[in-house]
Amino acid sequence: MIWTTRLGFARNKFLYENNGLGFLPSSLGLPKDIDTTADRAMFPTISVGGERSLGGGDHRQSGFNSWSLLSNLARVTGKHSLKAGHEGRLLLINVWEARNAGAFSFTAEFTQGPNPTVASATAGYGFASFRLGTGSSGNLLQGWKNVAASSTYHAFYLQDDWRVTSKLTLNLGVRFDFDVPRTERYNRMNWFDQSIPSVLASTPGYSNMTGGVIFVRVDGNPRKQYDGDYNNFAPRIGLAYQVNSKTVIRAGFAQLFGPTSMAAQGTVGPYGFRNDYTWVTSLDNGLTPQNYLGNPFPNGFRALPGAADGLLTGTGGTLEAPLRNTVTPYTMQWNLTVQRELPGRVLFEAGYIGNGGRQQSRGGEGGFTLNQLDARYLALGTQLNQTVPNPFFGKGLGGVLANSTVAQSQLLRPYPQFGDIHPLFSNGGNTSYHALQTTFSKRYAQGVTFEGNYTFSKHLAHDESHMDSYNLALSKAVTSNHIPHRFVFSGVYELPFGKGRQFGSSMSRLADLAVGGWQVNGIITIQSGAPLSITATNNIGLYTKSARANNNGTSAAKSGDVRDRMAAYFDPSVFSHRHPSLSETSASGSPTCSAITATISISPSSSNSRWWRRFACSSGPRPSTLSIAYSSAASTPL
């Protein structure tokens, strides 16, 4: 029996100094109180549609500390090779970050016509909106990130490599791992409770209103931000079977639990210890300007309230908070391969590879919302944009609820007291990958060796920015790195010239240095191109997180030499702006391209490289490798 133990420590310090540090936003004409409210004086972010953005970025001073302890027992008994062990980690994360001193975005929204409720690809001008001071969105974050979080991770495993017979080997194992949910040194964390009665439920007509953040270590609440997920048992099984001296079959399955958002990190959603001042640019979904750039936050600023606001924390604006019942994401992996030695010392292998991700993040930090308007309200049409009396006016709320009127659509949201509600890294996203993978290789013989592989695959996933947060299936499509076909071939051929070779075996030493020991090697890659993303203006009117263009069912890909299509690589006429409806066909398919890349190199073989380097140095600088590269691209149908 062998026992091994390893203790480790790693520290990573992240210092990032913003280039605009020290710049006062008031010098641009913005209100002076922005200078003192921002965590650091920096140049604000100015984003104008169709133009290059100015400013932006963070100012960071963070430290990431990790302790690890790994302990294993190994024993061989009979036909069994047994292993058992424990892996533990302690994370100590200290993050301080200052956001830009305000972010202000401008699109063509307020300068397009003649019908402002219909999106247009040609009407309006973002820079004109900027000159008018009529923005599309923006905010100022105070207390962006100030976190001192810690958590522990534990994993226990048992593995048995069992040689059943001389031809059959089984690999059997199970792993149990979990994160103990994080805590924060000063308890600056909370979570969003969807069912807790709201303190605003006394408002006439809203007696059933629920939702609000719950702070750790307040009113007897636990100190941990999550319940925890402690049933993560992950089995794995594999086998290798030798059919005969030239054929081997391998298969396997494994369930793997991945990193979880419950671990210590810097993004914990500390609203209350962070103020998010929303630039309310319009109360009727972009039809009428509300607050202009000259005074984007007319209601002023306040000190960080901590947990004092209770269930009213973040009302009227965007809220980011995790859900307490978050679980651990996991993947299931499986494969079946056959390996065969062919004549000529060529080894060939073909296999099916599969991978399925479950309970992955469905929206990251902001691509999924709990407060989207239900699609049934689209039947109200333009009534959604009408302003009506604000039933919460006078209750000290901010953001879109600070005025005496409010859009009808705001009051129909599931949680009308909030804007967007982003459940940080919440579960619900799925991924899938299926592939036929083949490889072939020839062992070195008579100066020749080569290797190649071909993969035919499909990679699907739920996007992390959703057109309908109630129907994630609408966001399932091929991923940005989906490459359905990929072929790679490489080879080496040693030229038969020089001493001991087929030609010139008796040549002089000087001649051998010049023409002997050379080799030709090459690599060729032929693959499909990555999908193109076709975007669209989000005019759905339901507070969705994204919108995608409609497709008429026809492929946008064009044929012919790509160099003849540089001005019109694909056909844009098959796409159109989305009418305010979620039921139409979205552009889940998009044009792709295929690419061919080849590289041929001529260089001295390893057996003669020492003499070549000496010769090259004595004769002055010169290349020791001659490379010839070719690349091309062509369109391919979807």
Do 616 and 602 share a structural domain? yes
Question: Is residue 609 over pLDDT 80?
Answer: no
| Residue, of 565 and 148, whose pLDDT is higher | 148
On whether residue 584 sits in a domain, the answer given is yes
Evaluate whether 158 touches 171 at the Cβ level (below 8 Å): no
Q: What is the pLDDT of residue 623?
A: 34
The residue assigned the tokens 């390996």 is 339
Q: What is the pLDDT of residue 582?
A: 46
Helices (H) and strands (E) in the chain, counts: 5, 28
Element (H, E) at 617: helix 609-618
Q: From CA 257, how far away is CA 264, in angstroms rounded?
A: 17
* Length of the chain measured in residues: 638
Which two three-digit tokens encode residue 125? 């001008």
The residue assigned the tokens 């931000």 is 225
Percent of the chain with pLDDT over 90: 69
Mean residue pLDDT across the chain: 88
Q: pLDDT tier at 452 (50, 70, 90 boundaries)?
A: very high
Give the count of alpha carbons within 13 A of 540, CB side only. Answer: 26
Percent of the chain with pLDDT over 70: 90
Q: What is the DSSP string of 232-300?
A: -EEEEEEEEEEEETTEEEEEEEEEEE---TTS--S----TTSSEEEE---BSSSSSSB-S-TTSS-TT-
Which two three-digit tokens encode residue 47? 């984003």
Q: What angle do CA 390, 391, 394 make, to 5 degrees?
A: 85
What is the rounded average pLDDT of the residues 299-325? 96
Do 517 and 598 share a structural domain? yes
Evaluate whether 546 touches 465 at the Cβ level (below 8 Å): yes
Q: From CA 80, how far away is CA 447, in angstroms rounded?
A: 42
Do 602 and 517 share a structural domain? yes
On whether residue 521 sits in a domain, the answer given is yes
Pairing of β 592-604 and β 626-636: antiparallel
Q: What is the DSSP string of 472-507?
A: GGGGEEE-TT--SEEEEEEEEEE-SBSTTSSB-TT-
On whether residue 637 sits in a domain, the answer given is yes
Do 564 and 577 share a structural domain? yes
Other beta carbons within 10 Å of 149? 22
- The number of distinct structural domains making up the chain is 2
Query: CB under 8 Å to 167, separation ≥6 — which residues?
Result: 241, 242, 243
Backbone angles phi, psi at 575, to 5 degrees: -110, 155
| Distance from chain centroid for Cα 619 | 52
Query: CB under 8 Å to 24, separation ≥6 — which residues?
Result: 35, 41
Q: From CA 238, how far away is CA 204, in angstroms rounded?
A: 63
Backbone angles phi, psi at 409, to 5 degrees: -60, -35
Backbone angles phi, psi at 378, to 5 degrees: -65, -20
Q: What is the pLDDT of residue 561?
A: 83
Q: From CA 407, how far away is CA 384, in angstroms rounded?
A: 7
The residue assigned the tokens 């023409």 is 515
Question: Is residue 330 over pLDDT 80?
Answer: yes
| Distance from chain centroid for Cα 422 | 16
Backbone angles phi, psi at 153, to 5 degrees: -130, 140
Collapse the DSSP code of 131 into the 3-class scheme (helix H, G, I; strand E, B; otherwise coil) and give the result: helix
Other beta carbons within 10 Å of 260? 25
Collapse the DSSP code of 469 into the 3-class scheme (helix H, G, I; strand E, B; otherwise coil) and give the result: coil
Do 637 and 601 share a structural domain? yes
Evaluate whether 42 touches 58 at the Cβ level (below 8 Å): no
What tens digit of pLDDT does each residue of 35-85 get?
Answer: 999 999 999 999 999 899 999 888 999 999 999 999 999 999 999 999 999
Question: Is residue 614 over pLDDT 50?
Answer: no
Ranges assigned E (strand) in 344-386: 346-361
CA distances 568 to 181, 480, 555, 571, Å, are: 52, 21, 14, 7
Evaluate whether 264 touches 153 at the Cβ level (below 8 Å): no
Poorest-confidence range of 261-270, 476-485, 592-601?
A: 592-601
Collapse the DSSP code of 370 into the 3-class scheme (helix H, G, I; strand E, B; otherwise coil) and give the result: coil
What is the rounded average pLDDT of the residues 156-181? 97
Poorest-confidence range of 250-259, 338-347, 442-451?
A: 442-451
Nearest alpha-carbon partner for 355 in 409, 432, 435, 419? 432
Q: What is the pLDDT of residue 210?
A: 98
Q: What angle do CA 565, 569, 575 make, to 5 degrees?
A: 145
DSSP-derived letter for residue 529 is P
What tens digit of pLDDT does each residue of 387-405 get?
Answer: 999 999 999 899 999 999 9
Q: pLDDT tier at 443 (50, 70, 90 boundaries)?
A: confident
On whether residue 225 sits in a domain, the answer given is no
Poorest-confidence range of 228-242, 320-334, 561-575, 585-599?
A: 585-599
User: Which residue type is seen at 94?
Assistant: N
Which two three-digit tokens encode residue 615? 């010769």
Q: Which residue among 573, 590, 607 closes a domain?
A: 590
User: Which residue type is seen at 472?
Assistant: L
* pTM for the predicted model, two decimal places: 0.84
Do 583 and 603 share a structural domain? no
| Distance from chain centroid for Cα 198 | 34
Q: What is the pLDDT of residue 638?
A: 30
Evaluate whether 452 touches 487 at the Cβ level (below 8 Å): yes
Question: Is residue 554 over pLDDT 70?
Answer: yes
Peptide bond into 114 cis (omega under 30): yes
Do 628 and 603 share a structural domain? yes
User: Which residue type is seen at 172?
Assistant: L
On whether residue 615 sits in a domain, the answer given is yes
Q: From CA 85, how far away is CA 50, in angstroms rounded?
A: 56
What tens digit of pLDDT does each residue of 100-115 get?
Answer: 999 999 999 899 878 7
Q: What is the pLDDT of residue 594?
A: 52
Collapse the DSSP code of 622 into the 3-class scheme (helix H, G, I; strand E, B; otherwise coil) and give the result: coil
On whether residue 625 sits in a domain, the answer given is yes
On whether residue 142 sits in a domain, the answer given is no
Do 603 and 518 share a structural domain? yes
Which two three-digit tokens encode residue 202? 């006394």
Q: From CA 143, how far away is CA 427, in angstroms rounded?
A: 27
What tens digit of pLDDT does each residue of 501-526 get?
Answer: 878 787 888 888 888 888 899 999 99
Do 585 and 554 share a structural domain? yes
Do 634 and 563 share a structural domain? no
| Residue, of 561 and 226, whose pLDDT is higher | 226
Which two three-digit tokens encode residue 564? 């003849």
Evaluate whether 274 touches 141 at the Cβ level (below 8 Å): yes
Other beta carbons within 10 Å of 77? 8
Question: Is residue 616 over pLDDT 50?
Answer: no
Q: What angle do CA 557, 561, 565 make, to 5 degrees?
A: 65
Q: What is the DSSP string of 9-53?
A: EEEEEEEE--TTTT--GGGGT--THHHHHSSS--PPEEEETTS--
Domain that holds residue 557: 548-590
Q: What is the pLDDT of residue 579?
A: 53
Backbone angles phi, psi at 239, to 5 degrees: -145, 150
On whether residue 579 sits in a domain, the answer given is yes
What is the rounded average pLDDT of the residues 124-130? 93
Do 523 and 599 share a structural domain? yes
